[in-house]
Each structure stands twice: as C-alpha cells, then as structure tokens.
Amino acid sequence: MRTGINLVERLFAEITTKRIRRGIFRSVSDLEEAIHDYLDHHNADPKPFVWTNSAEIILDKERRALDKLETINAGNQRSEWEH
C-alpha cells in the first residue's frame, strides 16, 4: 500500500511544480480549473511510470531507512541536523 501512496504523492508533487506554482488563483474554482486543465493535458499523452529498480532493492532501501528512523527515534543516535 505504501507504494500506491508514494505514486499519489508523486502525482501531486508534479501538479504542484508544473502547474500550481506557476499560477495565480483568485478563487478555489480557478485552482480547481487549473488542476483539471493540467490533468486533461497530461492524460492526453500519458506516460507510464517505469520502476528502475527491482522490488527487492526498493524494499531493502525502505527497510534500512525505517531501521535508521527507529534508531534516531529511540534516542540512540543524534539526527543529522543535531551534529
């Protein structure tokens, strides 16, 4: 399930960088219209997301990151910004 969430986050990040940050919106409806316009253009010529690593490599990296976070949260190591 986390992978699905990451793809949704990636989509919103792309909309934000490619459309929302470039615009000025005087109302919520203007913002919604800009988002729908972006999606219409994006969906007219869709490009599939292609994984560059195997699932095993991705899951291994995620496990290492979670292990590091648990160590930091347990107070066993200072975080990077505390150095």
Which DSSP state fits 22?
T
Q: Rg for the chain (alpha carbons), in Å?
A: 19
Q: Enter the DSSP assignment of 24.
A: -
Average pLDDT over residues 47-68: 85
In the chain, the amino acid numbered 53 is: N
Residue with tokens 């690593």: 53
| Tens of pLDDT, residues 41-50 | 999 998 887 7
> What integer pLDDT is reported at residue 39 of this predicted model?
92
Model confidence band, residue 1 (pLDDT cutoffs 50, 70, 90): very low
Q: How far apart are CA 48 and CA 38, in angstroms?
A: 16
Q: Which of 11-15, 29-33, 37-41 has the lowest mean pLDDT?
A: 11-15
Of the chain, the percentage scoring pLDDT greater than 70 comes to 84
- Residue 62 contacts by C-beta under 8 Å, 6 or more apart in sequence? 2
Rounded to whole angstroms, what are the CA distances from 42 to 8, 18, 20, 48? 15, 11, 14, 11
Mean pLDDT score of the chain: 83
